[in-house]
Amino acid sequence: MSNIFKKIEETMVAAAFAESGEHEYAGSLLKSGKTAHRKVLLSTDCPVVTGKVLDHALNLCKRLGSSLEVFQIIPAGIIESSPREFFEAGTRRLHALKSMLSPQGISYDFAIKESSLEEELRTIARDRRDILAVIIPVCEGDKRDRDNFTAAMSRLFNCPVIFFES
């Protein structure tokens, strides 16, 4: 009986993608085992990854039958302007977060970068073909042109790009 409910849920997820115009993608979801090794990428340059966005991403992973990968970019400018002890404490917290998420099957990584989130996502899109969907949390004060950014990322990844506003 639970297999029937799982199949219905998979069909409903595929229908939602089909309704949003992602017909080929929706069809690919209905092929069994197709998403087992693919990942949902949650990528952000926000200083904090909230529980709300993690819950949303995990629910999407559950529905798609995939795993979650979190990639957080720490802007180098923030590091340069903060005292060394704050930087070291922050780095310890990020490593603790990585250790806490790993047993739950969530891959977490962070990088201190000069480049923007868009540049990093372009690099990821060029190097990876296992991304099923991309979730980008919207930070306070985010001044990106969301429509152009979403369209550019959707073309690069060839998958849905979701902006999450909490």
- Of 74, 161, 162, the residue nearest 120 (C-alpha): 74
Report, as an integer, the average pLDDT of 64-83.
82
**Other residues' Cβ atoms within 10 Å of the Cβ of residue 35:** 22
Percentage, residues of the chain above pLDDT 90 = 7
Q: Which residue has the higher pLDDT, 27 or 83?
A: 83
> How far, in Å, CA of 15 to CA of 12, rounded?
5
Mean pLDDT of the chain: 79
pLDDT of the residue at 35: 53
pLDDT of the residue at 166: 67
Tokens, residue 18: 């089909």
pLDDT of the residue at 36: 56
> How far, in Å, CA of 139 to CA of 130, rounded?
26
pTM reported for the whole predicted model: 0.71
pLDDT of the residue at 32: 53
pLDDT of the residue at 71: 92
